[in-house]
């Protein structure tokens, strides 16, 4: 089922890179189709949004009333409510610790020049939440609330014609008052052009990701990394529990047919067993068709020979979730620089971090963990520098500034500085 890649020889990084690039290329939707949707909504507004919602999911109701929201929430199983409350408290507690990194900075030099760094929240943020994931609502909205974002708009699609009561309850728990029923590329365009969001965050399918890519830097800000489709990489050895290895791979595969599951190991016997165990465990899975398709399409077993190869390959893959299902995980953890989240040992499954650990599960995918982080409070604030120089202070730093402006051929800069010190 999972494709075997033998990296015991030379050029192992090239082999892995080719496979990863192939998958990423296949997961890129037709940009022209997405651009058409985005431009149509830009031009025709809510009318175009309704057109695409009707076309794709037969949804005729975009903006939700509070009465409608409360009615749906009432149907939610109390057990699920309790679980959402539990997750909310843990996510809130962990992300609150990040506030210390958003404090203002003040520096004064001996000339009484004052330099400040002011942290301010983004004014309006759009949050996209797949239709059945209340945990994703919590992960996206809690850090935004802690950052004191003034206005949050939630967009979540209907699944089989229905809104998810868990998502709506999670939104209510955080205090989100504006909710729209909309999905896909049209949801992102709606948040950008109709609700005038300054930033849009949240995971979604490849159409959501493409719409965010098209709009990023032009109309709105987005996360630094790509968020979706989901990924997991599992490092295992001869001591690893085969049931845990197989179930971790399956747990990610059931997300989406475009999800990627990778096993990295030195052990030949483990390789022989893992496909058999997956087939055994997947039989009674409600989403087995999705999981099977995902594993056949994007499942990879990487056979390695040395620890150095392991480190090189794991950093090359730069996966969203990295499970180190080995006893001596510390020797690897310290050398992993590219991963959205690292989960150490057999008692730290990715699935726990997806829901109730407290860390954020909106993580970089498609190799973007090489340059970006998981969602955090810093995604919802801006840093503004404030400069207040004195008459003596500007004179003291002027000569060096003039030297640099002259060197760079910027004579106007020189004149501007000199105009401040000719008094």
Residue 115 reports pLDDT greater than 60 = yes
pLDDT score recorded for residue 334: 93
Say whether pLDDT at 154 is over 90: yes
Residues assigned a catalytic role: 320-321
Q: Give SS3 for 57.
A: helix
For residue 98, the 8-state DSSP code is G
* Under 8 Å between Cβ of 202 and 136: yes
Mean pLDDT, to the nearest integer, of 207-230? 84
Name the band, by pLDDT with cuts 50, 70 and 90, for residue 258: confident
List the helix and strand counts (H, then E) for the chain. 17, 14
CATH superfamily of 3-27+229-357: Nitrogenase molybdenum iron protein domain (3.40.50.1980)
Predicted confidence at residue 27, as pLDDT, reads 61
CA 324 to chain centre: 21
Which of 245, 248, 202, 243 shows the shortest CA–CA distance to 225? 202
Q: Is the pLDDT of residue 338 over 90?
A: yes
Averaged pLDDT, 65-93: 96
Whether the pLDDT of residue 10 is over 90: the answer is no
State yes or no: pLDDT of 381 exceeds 80. yes
The residues pairing with 107 across neighbouring beta strands, listed in sequence order, are 115
Task: Specify the pLDDT at position 228.
Answer: 67
pLDDT for residue 178 is more than 80: yes
pLDDT of residue 219: 87
Confidence of residue 3 (pLDDT cuts 50, 70, 90): confident
Q: Enter the tokens of residue 131.
A: 């239709």
Round to whole Å and give the CA distance between 271 and 269.
5
Q: How far apart are the C-alpha atoms of 418 and 423, rounded to whole Å?
A: 10
Does 28 score more than 80 pLDDT? Answer: no
Among 147-151, 225-229, 290-294, 301-305, the least confident range: 225-229
Q: Are 252 and 232 in contact (CB under 8 A)?
A: yes
Please say whether the dihedral angle defined by the alpha carbons of residues 168, 169, 172 and 173, taken in this order, is positive or negative.
Answer: negative
**Mean pLDDT throughout 412-420?**
94
pLDDT of residue 141: 97
State residue 311's pLDDT score: 95
Phi-psi region of 246 (alpha: psi -120 to 50; beta: other; left: phi over 0): alpha
| Confidence grade of residue 54 (pLDDT, cut at 50, 70, 90) | very high
- Which of 190-199, 222-231, 360-369 has maximum average pLDDT? 190-199
Give the per-residue pLDDT at 150. Answer: 96
* CATH number for the segment(s) 31-98+120-225: 3.40.50.1980
> What does the DSSP 8-state code read for residue 110?
T
Say how many C-beta atoms besides its own lie within 10 A of residue 326's C-beta.
Answer: 21
Length of the chain: 423
pLDDT of residue 37: 96
Q: Does residue 108 come out as left (phi exceeding 0), alpha (psi in the -120 to 50 range) or beta?
A: beta
Pull the structure tokens for residue 189.
Answer: 């365009």
pLDDT of residue 26: 64
State the angle between helix axes of 134-146 and 165-174 in degrees (0 to 180), rounded to the nearest 10.
10
**Is 273 exposed, middle or buried, given 0-12, 13-18 or 19+ CB atoms closer than 10 A?**
middle
In DSSP terms, 220 is beta-bridged to 216
Instruction: Name which residue leads in pLDDT, 27 or 44.
Output: 44
What confidence score (pLDDT) does residue 423 get? 55
Answer whether residue 29 shows pLDDT above 80. Answer: no
CA atoms of 356 and 90, how far apart (whole Å): 7
pLDDT for residue 143 is more than 60: yes
Confidence of residue 198 (pLDDT cuts 50, 70, 90): very high
CA separation for the pair 299, 290 (Å, rounded): 13
Residues of the chain with CATH 3.40.50.1980: 3-27+229-357, 31-98+120-225
Question: What's residue 256's pLDDT?
Answer: 86
């Amino acid at each position: 089922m999972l494709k075997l890649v033998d990296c015991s020889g030379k050029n192992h990084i090239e082999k892995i890179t080719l496979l990863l690039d192939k998958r990423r290329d296949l997961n890129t939707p037709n940009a022209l189709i997405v651009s058409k949707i985005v431009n149509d909504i830009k031009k025709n507004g809510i009318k175009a949004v309704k057109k695409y919602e009707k076309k794709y999911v037969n949804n005729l109701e975009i903006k939700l009333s509070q009465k409608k929201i409360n009615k749906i929430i009432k149907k939610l199983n109390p057990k699920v409510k309790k679980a959402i409350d539990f997750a909310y408290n843990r996510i809130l507690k962990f992300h609150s610790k990040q506030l210390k990194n958003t404090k203002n900075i003040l520096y004064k030099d001996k000339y009484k020049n004052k330099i400040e760094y002011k942290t301010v929240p983004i004014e309006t943020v759009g949050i996209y939440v797949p239709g059945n994931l209340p945990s994703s609502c919590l992960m996206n909205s809690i850090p935004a609330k802690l950052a004191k974002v003034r206005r949050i708009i939630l967009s979540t699609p209907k699944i089989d014609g229905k809104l998810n009561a868990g998502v709506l309850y999670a939104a209510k728990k955080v205090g989100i008052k504006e909710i729209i029923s909309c999905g896909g590329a049209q949801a992102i365009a709606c948040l950008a052009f109709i609700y005038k969001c300054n930033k849009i965050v949240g995971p979604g399918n490849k159409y959501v990701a493409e719409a965010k890519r098209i709009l990023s830097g032009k109309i709105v800000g987005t996360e630094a990394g790509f968020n979706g489709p989901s990924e997991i990489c599992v490092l295992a050895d001869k001591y690893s529990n085969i049931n845990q290895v197989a179930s971790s791979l399956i747990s990610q595969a059931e997300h989406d047919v475009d999800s990627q599951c990778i096993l990295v190991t030195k052990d030949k016997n483990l390789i022989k067993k893992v496909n058999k165990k997956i087939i055994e465990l997947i039989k009674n899975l409600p989403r087995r068709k999705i999981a099977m398709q995902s594993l056949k399409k994007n499942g990879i077993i990487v056979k390695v020979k040395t620890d150095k190869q392991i480190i090189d390959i794991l950093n090359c893959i730069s996966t969203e979730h990295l499970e180190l299902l080995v006893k001596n995980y510390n020797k690897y953890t310290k050398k992993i620089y590219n991963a959205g989240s690292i989960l150490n040992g057999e008692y730290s499954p990715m699935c726990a971090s997806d829901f109730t650990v407290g860390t954020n599960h909106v993580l970089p995918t498609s190799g973007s963990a090489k340059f970006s982080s998981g969602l955090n409070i810093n995604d919802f604030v801006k840093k503004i520098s404030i400069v207040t120089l004195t008459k003596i202070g500007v004179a003291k730093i002027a000569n060096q500034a003039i030297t640099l402006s002259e060197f760079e051929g910027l004579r106007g800069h020189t004149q501007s500085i000199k105009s401040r010190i000719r008094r």
